[in-house]
Amino acid sequence: MDKLRSMEVFVAVVDAGSFTAAAAQCEISPVMVGKHIQFLENLLGARLLTRTTRRQSLTELGLQYAEQCKAILVQIGEAESGAARMRGGARGVLKITSPVTFGSEMLAPAMVDYLAQYPEMRADLHMNDSVVDVVEDGFDAAIRIGQLEDSTLIARPLQPYSMMICAAPSYLKRKGIPRTPADLIAHECLDFLHWNKHVRWRLTGEVSEIPVSRLRSNNGQALKSAAVAGFGIVMQSELLLAGEVAAGRLVPLMEAYVPAPRPMHLLYPRDRQPTPKLATFIEFVLSRFGL
């Protein structure tokens, strides 16, 4: 038998005062009420009720067990009510992880619109270029750039992540304009610290060994600022550099050699029925950044 259902029947017997009244309340037969009580007594190894032809009374164990059952049933009711409220509308806290550049340049501004649309929602946006464990770290969703490993997570494709190579007009006036990857040997190429030394400046075409940059950083904004200041050539996300290009502070270079766009996905744990907060976020991200 179902233990929880038997506890509900037992509490009904205690409150109603008889098997017959409890049977009517639970919409089962008095015989079935007796079976539920017997199931609990066998489970506990002790009697819960003492019955005579005139009345029934709780044993000492039965009195204590009845109070505990009532408390458990109240907690379960509150949990179910909370879940029903969650299903009824988007409310609560979304915990999201995203790469730094995409998160700061695109996702954070978009979240303003999402939160305006769902006023009972809150968002915790964690920006990190390291791969995190979505489930283990308690994230509702993640934006991930690059090829995906096998995963139990659901992956929804987003617009590809494109790159640009740029330099400031002042730098190009001083150092000249590189036309091919081989020309970069004579230039100051800004390095991202997270790049592996074997895959620095991955361009389409043969590239000789590019000297190690005199300025490296783990932050794309810092490299962009150095490029705008005329220090060197930067290869960064189109999202990060497009504004500077539009303003004339940076000039696109070597567009034929720019690496192919990398795939980008929205990831989230499998669930037969996502909560409204996650479902609305998925719909929003796909409408804003989807293919």
State pTM to two decimals. Answer: 0.61
Contact status, residue 234 vs residue 190, Cβ threshold 8 Å? yes
Contact status, residue 44 vs residue 61, Cβ threshold 8 Å? yes
- What's the pLDDT score for residue 83? 59
Could you tell me the two tokens for 74? 């109240």
- What's the pLDDT score for residue 285? 95
Residues 234 and 283 in one domain: no
- What's the pLDDT score for residue 247? 95
Measured CA to CA, the distance from residue 14 to residue 56 in angstroms comes to 9
- What's the pLDDT score for residue 81? 62
Measured CA to CA, the distance from residue 123 to residue 112 in angstroms comes to 10
- What's the pLDDT score for residue 218? 81
Residues 251 and 175 in one domain: yes
Residues 199 and 77 in one domain: no
Residues 119 and 204 in one domain: no
Give the pLDDT means over successive 10-residue stretches in the chain (291 positions).
86 85 87 87 86 75 88 80 60 90 90 91 90 87 86 89 94 94 89 67 68 82 93 90 94 91 91 78 92 82
Q: Would residue 92 be called left, alpha or beta, if left means φ above 0 and alpha means ψ between -120 and 50 degrees?
A: left
Residues 134 and 271 in one domain: yes
Residues 253 and 285 in one domain: no
CATH code of the domain covering residue 21: 1.10.10.10
DSSP readout, the chain? --HHHHHHHHHHHHHHSSHHHHHHHHTS-HHHHHHHHHHHHHHHTS-SEEE-SS-EEE-HHHHHHHHHHHHHHHHHHHHHHHHHHHHHS--EEEEEEE-HHHIIIIIHHHHHHHHHH-TTEEEEEEE-SS---TTTTT-SEEEEESPPPS-SSEEEEEEEE-EEEEE-HHHHHHH----SGGGGGGS-B-EETTS-TTSTT--SS--PPPPPPS-EES-HHHHHHHHHTTS-BEEEEHHHHHHHHHTTSSEE--GGGSPPPEEEEEEE---SS--HHHHHHHHHHHHHHB-
Could you tell me the two tokens for 104? 């700061």
Residues 197 and 248 in one domain: yes
Q: Which domain holds residue 271?
A: 92-160+262-289
CATH code of the domain covering residue 172: 3.40.190.10
In this predicted model, what pLDDT tens digit does every residue of 76-134 receive, in sequence order? 877 766 655 555 577 889 999 999 888 988 899 999 999 998 888 999 999 988 888 88
Query: What total number of domains does the chain contain?
Result: 3
